[in-house]
Chain A
Amino acid sequence: MKKYSGFSLFKHSLSHHENWQAAWRSPQPKKQYDIIIIGGGGHGLATAYYLAKVHGITNVAVLEKGYLGGGNTARNTTIVRSNYLWDEASKLYDHSLDLWKDLSQDLNYNVMFSQRGVLNLGHNLQDMRDIERRVNANRLNGIDGVVLNTAEVKEIVPIINDSPNIRYPVLGASWQATAGVARHDAVAWGFARGADSHGVDLIQQCEVTDIITEDGAVVGVQTTLGFIGSNKVACVTAGNSGVMAAMVGLRLPIESRPLQALVSEPIKPILDTVVMSNAVHAYVSQSDKGDLVIGAGADSFNGYGQRGSFHVVEHTLSAICELFPMFSRVRMNRAWGGIVDTCPDACPIVSKTSIKGLYFNCGWGTGGFKATPGSGHVFAHTLAHDEAHPLAAPFTLDRFSTGHLIDEHGAAGVAH
């Protein structure tokens, strides 16, 4: 794989950028792999990349039924933060944030990670108490965070409505300065290019139709391109995880819901940070292109339709317009839905299963994008050693029987 650099950009400009090497190959599947990863989204590609780079396992295939990064990786609001309440979750997400910091250099691919800070607003006394508790917990875990009052929020976001007379006044916020946003497509493409350059086969337009087991152990998968053998199969299929589990007669503690986002027409730079509010359910940032990126809520019902209900959008936009009255006349350009795999405790499942050689990395729910590098990193360890990475150990399926749930509903951005 040829390295991207300023020099290569200049060199290729001389030939009108028509001779760039393809970022990855499009191989035909081999008959047998050491590990098959189902799902070519950010988490699956990151898993493949770290398997090759950290563990030296390169006889790996990533099977994707559509195109790389075309699912939730392309459908989220690109927020990266690690201000989770409990030790287990905050360590996992902060591990991911650490990887984000050097990711562009590591991948030789600009993921446009921008640490522009994230505000989580509080609108009543209980919100502020929860925010103080969470910030204190974060600081004890070495994660930066401060509690701001209304005036301090106004200083960071001058366009916010700080009137005490609105229905849900801004009483303050938590502020994680090291949080931010990244370019979602670039993350998938960067990991894909990195994995491919280590010899991983990325196979698109290849849908897994069945997972084949013999005597309680995985032997391969049936796909639209025929049977592909492997003794280790890892499902990284987000909203479709329940469908994959059903192929081997298993169930998961997961329900799939449509979660919506929308973007406005591009406007001049006006918002240089990320503003989130769990209470009124609004979150907004501005992309480098200029459009406002807005996250709406999840639909209450199970659904695989990749579209959401209009009243959910209406609810979010009414909150955005109250917080930012100047956005009231901005026109929305596009809206879409992604299918998120919600877990009862709003924490992921990175786990072995009762079937030998079958692994799941799912349950990231409404906040998986931020975890992309960390999720791939710890899951690769789990796959390589058949034993959970220390940071992933609390996130096995066992916790639903032992009762060691990690309740992150407060820190998860979207109620579910």
Chain B
Amino acid sequence: MKKITFKSIKKLIANNLVTVLFLVICGFGIPLSGYSANFLISGIIVRISRNSFLILSLLIPIMAGMGLNFGMVLGAMAGQIGLIFVTDWNIVGIPAMVLAIIISIPISILLGQLCGRILNKAKGREMVTAYILGFFMNGVYQLVVLYGMGSIIPIKNTSLVLPRGYGIRNTVNLIGIRQSLDSIFNLSIFGIKIPLMTFIVIGVVCVFIVWFRKTKLGQDMRAVGQDMDVAAAAGIQVEHTRIVSIVISTVVAGIGMIIYLQNIGTLNTYNSHTQIGMFSVAAILVGGASVSKANIGNVFLGVILFHLMFIVSPMAGKNLIGQAQLGEYFRVFVSYGVITMSLVLYEMRKKRENLVNAEKLKDDQGDSNEN
């Protein structure tokens, strides 16, 4: 057995600084909020079922060395378009969800292809490019939804269309599909409702990711992620592999958005997707992932810690300062802060590793010259 020393603990903390910081925040926040364990657990279960699918979509691009896919908002937009159509057609329940997924997939593939091609032109700067691409596509989405729907794209449901006759309203009521997946199989333990079917679906995606890593394409992605030049020399189509990884991520994000919105029951047409990328990236980073390394465990740990902070912070802020608004500011500031801190730490670690490697190389070369 490996001996636990002060140095090893220090290294463990240094490697998981964000996670440790969140554990400390939650450790202080939980008693301050005064929430019962039952309330916190049920809140966390709801948020795991709501967000995990979306966050899982980030794993494959990380595997392919493309960093955190801020372009997942493109998939979220595709999912929302699917939901707008099924609501217009008055289709409800699980068939509505399936139909929304079927509609979203081709749109996600198209947007994923576009995103992948652009990211191939911006190698090494994928994250910032995908982030800005998300803003650009948000403009296109708004153009389509605000001006195209109801005028060029037929929308007959008057409750969806703005009073002027075209464009979708700010809020779309998803009452027809609200919690249709969550309510299929429900388990109740000590009054805590567990949406089993949603967890089964999330489990299937986890199994898919584990299986995918072992496939030829998965291995190619790992090779591309480690070193693009070596992968290209080994005969792997680097650019194609990178595009496929983004397409898969976008499709999964589209489905994830549909699962997310069926849980909430309301679609905020022009805002729902904008925060999704940021919060999903923050959650996976809180779970201990980095720009180049992530696994399924990071997803679930991230959802638990990040959303625990989300639940706890307004009440903790209210009890501490007397203002719940403080908690609201706090959680937004923390989610941006987490991303910044993780990126800075990652860069620092990379620089330190490069420095150590350079020193090692220098020493080795010095030794060989002496010989």
- Same complex origin of A and B: no
